[in-house]
């Protein structure tokens, strides 16, 4: 795996008592497994941001994306494309949506629930 880029930023505001965190990464897979039975190649991108109320350590907001385009060859062959978006609001309502495509078969993801990532009422 090769890290193509990445960044982590954390900032805090003493007036509002909130901390904001942002993380971005770009990875490239281009390697055989240790036993050389499977080759994995492709890219993964991950972007996430969150705001936390410092005094309570509660998540006020969270959002992010995950995109992966991976293919395998060797003993196991196939391809997978993943595009997911995640979010959570101050009330703790979490949403995960997107799609996963594996060898031409598409699975649509659309989940909504309370506190899937922590948040209001949890820490």
Q: Could you tell me which of 7, 8, 11 has the C-alpha nearest to residue 52?
A: 11
pLDDT confidence bin for 117, thresholds 50/70/90: low
Which of the 8 DSSP states describes residue 56? T
What are the C-alpha distances in Å from 31 to residues 41, 70, 71? 7, 12, 11
Q: Is 121 within the bounds of a domain?
A: no
Domain assignment of residue 10, yes or no: yes
Rounded to an integer, what is the distance from CA 5 to the centroid of its chain? 15
**75 compared with 82, residue with greater pLDDT:** 82
Q: Which residue has the higher pLDDT, 75 or 28?
A: 28
Q: Model confidence over 30-79: pLDDT tens digits? A: 887 778 788 889 999 999 999 988 778 788 888 999 999 999 888 888 89
pLDDT at 107 over 80: yes
Task: Please report, for residues 16, 52, 99, the alpha-carbon distance to residue 13 in angstroms, rounded to integers and kept in the order given.
Answer: 6, 11, 36
Q: Does 50 map to a domain?
A: yes
Is residue 19 one of the residues assigned to a domain? yes
In a domain, 120, yes or no: no
Structural domain boundaries enclosing 45: 2-114
- Give the total number of structural domains in the chain: 1
Average of per-residue pLDDT across 17-39: 87
- Distances in whole angstroms, Cα of residue 88 to Cα of each of 8, 18, 60, 102, 105: 20, 16, 8, 27, 28
Q: Is residue 85 part of a domain?
A: yes
The predicted model scores a pTM of: 0.75
In a domain, 119, yes or no: no
The answer to the question of residue 94 being in a domain is yes
Calculate what percentage of the chain has a pLDDT beyond 70: 93
Mean pLDDT of all residues in the chain? Answer: 86
Measured between alpha carbons, how far is 123 from 120 in angstroms, rounded to an integer? Answer: 8
């Amino acid at each position: 795996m090769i890290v193509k880029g990445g960044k982590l930023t954390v900032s805090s505001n003493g007036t509002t008592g909130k901390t904001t965190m942002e993380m971005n990464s770009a990875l490239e897979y281009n390697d055989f497994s240790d036993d050389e039975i499977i080759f994995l190649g492709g890219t993964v991108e991950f972007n996430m941001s969150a705001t936390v109320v410092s005094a309570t350590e509660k998540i006020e907001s969270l959002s992010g994306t995950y995109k992966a385009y991976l293919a395998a060859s060797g003993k196991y062959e196939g391809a997978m494309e993943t595009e997911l978006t995640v979010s959570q609001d101050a009330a703790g309502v979490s949403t995960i949506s997107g799609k996963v495509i594996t060898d031409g078969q598409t699975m649509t993801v659309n989940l909504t629930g309370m506190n899937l990532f922590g948040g209001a009422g949890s820490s």
